[in-house]
Amino acid sequence: MIPGSFAYHRPTSVSEAVLLLDSLGDEARALAGGHSLIPMMKLRLASPAHLIDLGGIGELRSLREEAGEIVIGAMTTQHELIGSQLLSAKIPILSETSLLIADPQVRYLGTIGGNVANGDPGNDLPAVMICLNATYDVTGKSGPRRIAARDFYQGAYFTALEPGEIVTAIRIPVPQAGHGYAYEKLKRKIGDYATAAAAVVLSMSGGKVVACSIGLTNVAETPLWAEEAAGIIVGSTLDAATVKKAVAAAEAITAPASDARGPAIYRTKMAGVMLARALARARQRAGA
């Protein structure tokens, strides 16, 4: 498994990277952690003539809170997400999810930007971003813009990014203090993509759910925002009948492929099971 030849570029600023991507056009690919792209190149499923390594751009490695948002530079690694005290305190679902991505070695290099931007429906963070209503800072030749995670994913490996654009940061509104959360992922083994996974963030008050958001991983060509299911949950005590209804609503929006992880019907049902379990665990964790 040997990649084809390419020219290597290592810009030191976002503007330089964007210029390169623009001038080199279709022949260029941006390289973040490389743990999706390099295996594809070794299999010759991708053969870019130019590789633009974003690893030298210091401004893409940051993690801070500003104006009610956590802003995470795109080249922040999953290992860094796991180790961040800020995230553990404010958005613990991110470290919970990151720990379920691939394996330790991959997490040292795998980045949040690569994970959310490449459009692989098997990636875990996109559904979490949809669940958290994150926004992506994007830059291209026509300047910066923002895209809501919920609008970003259009198909397998198809996203709202225009040619030459890169994700530079991920903005996540800080969830309400005391929120409950869970990412439940069913997989065959460490290192596998999800057979199905569900991200849940909810808030409780007086024994009732007052806010709820749900994302689903790898049960369609894109990560899914289970808006209707979340709506069913809001206002409930998470009683069995309501959960069952929400699970049915979530299952109804799935359209998984049959693969070695199981036939489509199984994966749909597992999305439901993961959702039910994520709801239960999120509830345990929620204050009040």
Partner 1 sequence: MAKSQITLTVNGKKEEALVEPRTLLIHFLREQLNLTGPHIGCETTHCGACTIDLNGMSVKSCTMFAVQANGADIVTIEGMAAADGTLHALQEGFREMHGLQCGFCTPGMIMRAHRLLQENPSPTEEEIRFGIAGNLCRCTGYQNIVKAIQYAAAKLGGVPYREAAE
Partner 2 sequence: MNVATPNPTSAERAEKLQGLGCKRKRVEDVRFTQGKGNYVDDLKLPRMLYGDFVRSPHAHARIKSIDTSKAKAVPGVLAVLTAADLKPLGLHYMPTLAGDVAAVLAEEKVLFQNQEVAFIIAEDRYIAADAAELVEVEYEALPVVIDPFKAMAPDAPVLREDIKDKTDGAHGKRKHYNHIFEWQMGDREATDLAFRKADVTIKELISYQRVHPCPLETCQAVASFDKITSELTLWGTFQAPHVIRTVASLISKIPEHKIHVIAPDIGGGFGNKVGAYPGYICAIVASIVTGRPVKWVEDRIENLSTTAFARDYHMTTEIACTKDGKVTGLRVHTLADHGAFDACADPSKWPAGFFNIVTGSYDFPVAHVAVDGVYTNKAPGGVAYRCSFRVTEAAYCIERAMDIMAQKLGMDPAEFRMKNLIRREQFPYVSALGWEYDSGDYHTALQKALDTVGYRQLRAEQKAKREAFKRGETRELMGIGVIFFTEIVGAGPSRNCDILGIAMFDSAEIRIHPTGSVIARLGTKSQGQGHETTYAQIIATEIGLAADNIAIEEGNTDTAPYGLGTYGSRSTPVSGAATAMAARKIKAKAQMIAAHLLEVHDDDLEWDIDRFRVRGNPERFKTMTELAWAAYNNVPPGMEPGLEAVSYYDPPNMTYPFGAYICVADIDADTGVTKIRRFYALDDCGTRINPMIIEGQIHGGLTEAFGIAMGQEIHYDAEGNVTTASLMDYFLPTAVETPRWETDWTTTPSPHHPIGAKGVGESPNVGGVPCFANAVNDAFAFLGSTHIQMPHDNWRTWTVANKLGLHA
Residues that bind partner 1 (CB under 8 A): 1-8, 10, 31, 34-35, 38-39, 41-42, 51, 53, 55, 79, 102-106, 108-109, 190-191
* Contact status, residue 117 vs residue 74, Cβ threshold 8 Å: yes
Does 190 sit near partner 2 (CB under 8 A)? yes
Task: Indicate whether 5 belongs to the interface with partner 2 (CB under 8 A).
Answer: yes
**What is the side-by-side strand order in the sheet with 166-173?**
63-66, 69-73, 166-173, 135-140, 143-148
Quick one: 58 exposed, middle or buried, by C-beta within 10 A (0-12, 13-18, 19+)? exposed
Size of the chain, expressed as the number of residues it contains: 288
- How many Å apart are CA 37 and CA 43, to the nearest integer? 10
Round to whole Å and give the CA distance between 233 and 216.
Answer: 15
Which runs of consecutive H residues, i.e. helices, occur in the chain?
14-24, 37-42, 78-83, 85-90, 93-98, 104-109, 112-117, 125-132, 149-152, 227-233, 240-252, 264-285
CB of 207 to partner 2, least distance (A): 24
CA angle at residue 137 from 282 to 179, to 5 degrees?
A: 15
Residue 29-48 contact track with partner 2, rule CB under 8 A, x = bound: ---------------x----
| CB of 17 vs partner 1, minimal distance in Å | 15
- The binder of 144, among partner 1, partner 2, none, by C-beta within 5 to 8 A per type, is none
28-36, 182-190, 206-214, 231-239 -> range binding partner 2 (CB under 8 A): 182-190
Binding piece for partner 2, criterion CB under 8 A, among 130-138, 199-207, 232-240, 259-267: 259-267
> CB of 259: closest distance to partner 2 in angstroms?
8
Q: Footprint of partner 2 on residues 102-161 (CB under 8 A)?
A: 103
Nearest CA to 22 among 140, 168, 187? 140
Q: Is 261 in the site for partner 2 (CB under 8 A)?
A: yes
- Residue 32 C-beta: closest distance to partner 1, Å: 11
Query: Of 76, 82, 110, 86, which is closest to residue 96 (Cα–Cα)?
Result: 82
262 binds partner 2 (CB under 8 A): yes
| Residue 127: CB minimum distance to partner 2, A | 18
Residues forming contacts to partner 2 in the complex (CB under 8 A) are: 1-2, 4-5, 44, 103, 186, 188-192, 195, 260-263, 266, 269-270, 273
